[in-house]
Amino acid sequence: YYVTAIYLVLYQFLTASQPRHRLGLGLLVIVNIAFLIATASRGGFLTFIAAGVLFLWMFRNELGAARVAGVVSGGAIALVLVGALIVNYTDFGGLFERLAETEVQEGIPDTRQRVWPAAWKEIQNNPVLGHGPRLRFPGEEDGQRYKGHVYIQYPHNLYLFLLFTVGAIGLVAFLAFFLTPMRRCWQVGFQRGIDPYAAGLAKTGVVVLVGILIDQMKVEFLRINMTDYWHYVFALLGMLVAVCDRGRESTRPQPV
């Protein structure tokens, strides 16, 4: 959520014309970075960095070399200052320590060494349709078993989660649902004649959606107790589609 908010607000900051608006939006970006660091989420932080590289690449022509350098230097300064504040003056300063302690073996982070292989083993037994839309039933974590249902722990990976529950067919359908608006955002973002603000917001949509899909490699958001996050993500998809439609309408000849 914080990574998504950072880049949506950052785009507003870069397009704002009034100094007081830029000040408020800049502070909001810094606050979101602070909360992101406070979560101590290693994957979220790495997604933030990767999305930042993509954001600067997407807007390289609009920003120019000088403003790109300004965004990078300003972001680095804010990150250092906010990180120092969180680490030294709060109880939520474990992010950088966790990053330093992270180990990767055969492409799998140390915290996923058990659950990813276990999920993949069961996926291979029913790769096309999966084992059913429910990952687990009540009591299974405590040893209770249901006839005909295969139990695994949460794989902490959306793509393994989908392959296990709804198989390759379900994974393709899910990705199509996300990649279709991403493709529309890409087309509008680089289409000539589009309203510049709408085009830039469409490009930001590409960055945000790529960030969401990358982040799901380390934790799946399709959990029963996280439905509020579903609402946010899918509402965002609808708004991005609306932005693309408005942008395309701006290129149509207006009636006299």
Q: Write out pLDDT tens, residues 56-85.
A: 999 999 999 999 999 999 989 999 999 999
Among 9, 10, 5, 15, smallest CA distance to 195 is for 15
Cite the DSSP H helix spans in the chain.
2-15, 19-39, 42-58, 60-89, 95-101, 115-123, 158-189, 196-215, 227-249
**Confidence (pLDDT) at 224:** 63
Burial code (b: 16+ CB inside 10 Å, e: under 16) for 35-55 equals: bbbbebbbbbbbbbebbbebb
Are the CB atoms for 201 and 11 separated by under 8 Å? yes
Q: pLDDT digits over 159-168, tens only?
A: 999 999 999 9
> In this structure, what token pair is assigned to residue 189?
């973002």
The Cα–Cα gap between 96 and 209 comes to 25
Confidence of residue 127 (pLDDT cuts 50, 70, 90): very high
Tokens 């932080």 -> residue? 45
> In this structure, what token pair is assigned to residue 224?
């029963």
CA distances from 99 to 34, 111, 221 (A): 16, 12, 22
**Confidence (pLDDT) at 100:** 87
Mean pLDDT of 174-202: 92
Confidence of residue 189 (pLDDT cuts 50, 70, 90): very high
- Whether the per-residue pLDDT at 229 is higher than 60: the answer is yes
**Confidence (pLDDT) at 9:** 96
Mean pLDDT of 136-157: 83
**Confidence (pLDDT) at 250:** 67
Q: pTM for the complete prediction?
A: 0.87
Name, in order, each residue with C-beta under 8 angstroms of 116's C-beta and a sequence gap of 6 or more: 108, 155, 156, 157, 160
